Structure 1
Amino acid sequence: MSGTSGQPGRYQRSSNGLIVSIVVLVVGVLAFVLIRGALRDTPDAGVDISPVDYGPVAVQARKAGLVAPAPAPLPKGWKASSVRFTPPDPATSGVTGSWHLGLLTDKQRYVAVEETSDDVTDLLPDTVADATRGPAVRLDGRTWRSWTGAKDAYALTTAVTGGRQVLVGSPAGESVVRGVAADLSLPSQQ
């Protein structure tokens, strides 16, 4: 700081000093990251996600009037990583609850299975970024709308009972999504 006499302060500021400060800061951050990585128990291991038992939650959702679609059994090496059921609100007419089942493939790729009474396109950004509607797809006598997104992201959506929608989507690609959709036990399409 400069005094009242117009004299410069104790610390001289220069562009060289700024550059040295930035270099010291970057070296410190890199050292921290390297030391933290060296002290980990499993430095290169991915996060191990424990499987969840979605069966009891699916039963509860179905008792409440939802379809609660889920492949049974899961393909070999796959596991359910998350399940959510939001019960219907008794203050509204009809079934308005929602269902979510998150799956991990044997190659650790995520697949989402959703059921909602909301506009299904609201769910697309979470599963297929920048989704573009594709052609209709027929799987086991049911018509699905296809959606493609960045890289291999792909989703299928279909209407089920009560004006509800089911979405199956994944960044793992079309064949994975079609396989899951074909394995779902859904009510007959009218």
Structure 2
Amino acid sequence: MSSTGSSRGNPSMGDIVRSVAVLGALVLALWGFGQLFTKTPDSNVKPIDYVSTVRSARPAAEFALLAPATLPKGWVATSAQFTPTTWHLGVVTDDEEYVGLEQRTGDAKQLVATYAKDSTAAGEVTIDGETWNLREGPDGEVTFVRTESGLTTLVTGEAPRAEVEAYVASLSAS
């Protein structure tokens, strides 16, 4: 056997480095090509017209149905459901954090158990002259709960407390 034979069975370190560099450049080129022709959707949120739902629901509601007159810029209503004794409005903030409004005749315990599970009482806060019970969830969620004349209103959200509190302040029955 000659000492000048092929090194195919035993590549040198230089051969390995060159092969890895060529493969890396090929992968990088394919990734760059894919980025040119791939469009990431801005958002997968499907907006709804909650204002028309509010207009048709208020006359049929057995309670003072609350809703914001307008949503903050970038916020989108994603769900609205009404029965004569319940109201739900779900919105997504401009940071894609969920905020939900629930109104239901009856006790607050059921709403809290359903929509603010594992939250703990964190005192009372006054928003626009109304007293709300504040609850804090394990993942930073905040919940505001108020019961008046047999109607419980609950607003819960993943958004920062100040944003959820401003949303609560924007709620109106007219």
SS of 1:136's equivalent? strand
1:117 corresponding residue in structure 2: 105
Structure with larger RCO (C-alpha < 8 A, sep 6+): 2
Residue 134 of structure 2: which of 138, 142, 146 is its match? 146
2:78 corresponding residue in structure 1: 81
User: What is the TM-score of this pair, normalised by structure 2?
Assistant: 0.70
Alignment of 1:27-176 (within 5 A): 45=41, 48-64=44-60, 65-87=62-84, 97-160=85-148, 162-176=149-163
Shift of 1:163: 1.4
- 1-side partners of 2:56 and 2:147: how far apart? 21
Kindly tell me: are residues 165 and 107 of structure 1, through their superposed partners in 2, closer, same or farther at Cα, counting changes over 3 Å?
Answer: same
Identity of aligned residues (%): 34
- Say whether 1:183 aligns with 2:170: yes
The amino acid of 2:166's aligned partner reads G
CA contact (8 A) 1:159 1:165 kept: yes
The amino acid of 2:164's aligned partner reads V
Give 5+ residue unaligned stretches, structure 2.
1-33
The amino acid of 2:46's aligned partner reads S
- 2-side partners of 1:128 and 1:176: how far apart? 17
- 2-side partners of 1:121 and 1:45: how far apart? 39
Shift of 1:46: 7.0
Q: CA RMSD in A?
A: 2.3
Greater share of strand? 2
Kindly tell me: are residues 120 and 44 of structure 1, through their superposed partners in 2, closer, same or farther at Cα, counting changes over 3 Å?
Answer: farther
Q: How many residue pairs end up in the alignment?
A: 138
Report the structure number with the largest CA radius of gyration. 2
- 1-side partners of 2:146 and 2:123: how far apart? 13
- 2-side partners of 1:125 and 1:177: how far apart? 19
